[in-house]
Amino acid sequence: MMQLPCPYCGVRDEDEFRFGGQSHITRPDLNCSDAEWADYLFCRDNPKGVNFERWLHAFGCGRWFNLARHTVTHEILACYRMGEPKPNVTGGAA
Amino acid sequence: MKRYSALSLLAGALTGHRRWTQAWRTPELRNSYDVVLVGAGGHGLATAYYLAKKHGIKNIAILEKGHLGGGSVGRNTQVTRSNYFWPESAAFFDHSLKLYESMSVDLNFNVMLSQRGILTLAHSHHDLEALRRWANAIQVNRIDSELLTPGDVKRIAPLMRMDGRYPVHGGFIQRRGGISRHDAVAWAYARAASALGVDIIQQCEVTGLTIAGNRIRGVETSRGPIATSKLALCVAGHTSVLAAMAGIRVPVNSMTLQAMVSEPIKPCLDTIVLSPIVHMYVSQSDRGEIVLGGGADVYTSYSQRGGVPVLQDTVSALTELFPAFSRLRLMRQWAGIVDITPDTTPLMGKTPVEGLYISGGWGTGGYKAIPAGGDTMAYTIANDSPHPLITSFGLDRFASGALIDEGAASGVAH
């Protein structure tokens, strides 16, 4: 069981949360090319390593927050609120 | 290649099984090949076989960072079926099922295909309406599917609880669907490809791609550089990682998909049962184990370990539908990485880099696609043009908007 730290409620089991995909995606200018728009809609970093991602504490406070999580070890390297800048996190135990 | 037959089996038995030879060669790595395939899983091995068999290209290396058949081809639940909704997927996956039907003869290797039917359940009137539409679409695609009443379902799977928490309102069956031995499929293609001259190189990890003038020139590996003008990525859960070496972003999310088996029991379930709504599918292996799986762990992960919540959901769905199985003990639980695309249709064909091809995005259904994936990729590589069956599976569909939103890809609601 993965345990995730909600910045509002503390550490809870993973089945209280819903994954919301990659964080810090900026919508391109609406005059952009089809390829840029497709990249914005469909392509994600999907790293084997540290992923910056959104989570929703669905069965808890109902609020969104960000995690930096290692996708191989599932180690949580940072937890921060929506709107806060991406923390400088690299590495992880793997 | 030494042919296997009843006589060779008998001869093997009479000599105490001491004279069997290796099924494939262990070749020395050379420094140049006409085609390099990354990944000795089902798709890499099948692609190599069809390149050598149908297109006469035999100077091929398959590079595998671990061991042959150690990834998703050895971790899936062995289901083959072609009960897809959209014409593009139906044509591709039925081609695959037909190749499965003749595989044991074609490759001279018993893959133990058992076409026991795949039964999809409806748990409400509305489910049944949706299944009716799905089953009719399959028939329009000229593939077999039959709607079933609750009585039919009960006759096919007598152990099923019809009026429990998930009442059974009916279902549909594709009788040509079935299971086969997944390791045997990898071994069969490996043996046949090796006999045609393909070099299968295990313990050789790709660390970089050599690209000059937007053309593939070679590949960097843990065992040194290799020159090639054609390279295909057949790496299941690592498509993003490998494509990034060529600076290509692919629309996939890598997640963990788990499966589990019980202790072996006597034969009691002779079809595959799938419940889209409670997210569980189950069959009984030839060894008697109850094999079950469910949904993916829905977050990005390369861990190859499944989480407990999905395991609990899958097992509780099984025991609701089959109360008799509640006393069985689970023997093993494992997971693989699945690359899920936004429309759950695979990514196949050419890439923006000349000579670089991709066979990925197989999501939760790569196993059933192995023969057709290999056949069509081999054509694509040999002709530098996508096979007619996969023209709509290209990377360009995301910019053009021609998605194939295949809800039937996993057979379950995501």
Q: What is the ipTM of this complex?
A: 0.94
Q: In whole angstroms, what is the distance from residue B215 CA to residue B229 CA? A: 8
Same domain, B240 and B142: no
pLDDT at A1: 85
Distance from CA of B66 to the nearest CA of A (A): 17
Over residues B358-380, the mean pLDDT reads: 97
Note whether B336 and B235 are within 8 A (CB): no
User: What tokens appear for B171 in the block?
Assistant: 């279902």
Same domain, B122 and B164: yes
Q: In whole angstroms, what is the distance from residue B60 CA to residue B197 CA? A: 8
Per-residue model confidence as pLDDT tens digits over B192-242: 999 999 999 999 999 999 999 999 999 999 999 999 999 999 999 999 999
Distance from CA of B251 to the nearest CA of A (A): 4
* Position B64 in a domain: yes
Sorted by sequence, the CB contacts under 8 Å of residue B122 that are 6+ apart come out as B128, B130, B131, B168, B169, B170, B171
* Position B109 in a domain: no
Same domain, B295 and B244: no
Taking CA atoms, B302 is separated from B176, B222, B341, in Å, by 33, 21, 16
* Position B328 in a domain: yes
pLDDT at B383 over 60: yes
* Position B108 in a domain: no
Sole residue written with tokens 């026991």: B116
End-to-end CA distance of chain A: 19
Sorted by sequence, the CB contacts under 8 Å of residue B115 that are 6+ apart come out as B101, B175, B176, B177, B178
Put simply, the chain A residues between 22 and 41 with a CB less than 8 A from any chain B CB are: 34-35, 37-39, 41
Per-residue model confidence as pLDDT tens digits over B319-355: 999 999 999 999 999 999 999 999 999 999 999 999 9
End position of a domain, from candidates B292, B314, B340: B340
Of the candidates B277, B228, B245, which has an alpha carbon nearest to the alpha carbon of residue B351?
B245
Q: Domain count of chain B?
A: 2
Q: In whole angstroms, what is the distance from residue A59 CA to residue B303 CA? A: 25
Sole residue written with tokens 């068999």: B53
Mean pLDDT of chain B: 95
Strand, coil or helix: B388: helix
User: What tokens appear for A38 in the block?
Assistant: 């497709």
Sole residue written with tokens 């194939």: B404
End position of a domain, from candidates B306, B323, B340: B340
Sole residue written with tokens 């150690």: B70
Residues on chain A touching B302 (C-beta within 8 angstroms):
48, 71-72
The runs of H, that is alpha helices, within B107-156 are 125-140, 150-156
User: What tokens appear for B88 in the block?
Assistant: 């593009």
Residues on chain A touching B299 (C-beta within 8 angstroms):
19, 53
User: What tokens appear for B143 in the block?
Assistant: 């593939």
* Position B228 in a domain: yes
Same domain, B257 and B405: no
pLDDT at B385: 97
Note whether B200 and B27 are within 8 A (CB): yes
Same domain, B268 and B331: yes
Domains of chain A: 3-81 (3.30.2270.10)
Q: How confident is the model at residue B407 (pLDDT cuts 50, 70, 90)?
A: confident
User: What tokens appear for B89 in the block?
Assistant: 């997927």
Of the candidates B42, B307, B302, which has an alpha carbon nearest to the alpha carbon of residue B294?
B307
Percent of chain B with pLDDT over 90: 95
Same domain, B186 and B327: no
Note whether B168 and B160 are within 8 A (CB): yes
Q: Is B164 exposed, middle or buried (0-12, 13-18, 19+ CB in 10 A)?
A: middle
Over residues B136-165, the mean pLDDT reads: 96
Same domain, B244 and B382: yes
What is the model's pTM? 0.95
Same domain, B335 and B186: no
Q: How confident is the model at residue A93 (pLDDT cuts 50, 70, 90)?
A: low
User: What tokens appear for A76 in the block?
Assistant: 């949580």
Task: Note whether B399 contacts A37, CB cutoff 8 Å.
Answer: yes
Distance from CA of B400 to the nearest CA of A (A): 7
Q: In whole angstroms, what is the distance from residue B15 CA to residue B322 CA? A: 45
Kindly state the DSSP code that residue A91 receives in the 8-state scheme.
-
Domain hosting residue B149, numbered range = 118-175+253-340
Same domain, B286 and B359: no
Task: Note whether B303 contacts A71, CB cutoff 8 Å.
Answer: yes
Over the Cα atoms of chain B, what is R_g? 21
B289-297 and B280-284 beta bridge pairing: antiparallel
Same domain, B280 and B298: yes
Per-residue model confidence as pLDDT tens digits over A4-60: 999 999 999 999 999 999 999 999 999 999 999 999 999 999 999 999 999 999 999
End position of a domain, from candidates B299, B316, B340: B340
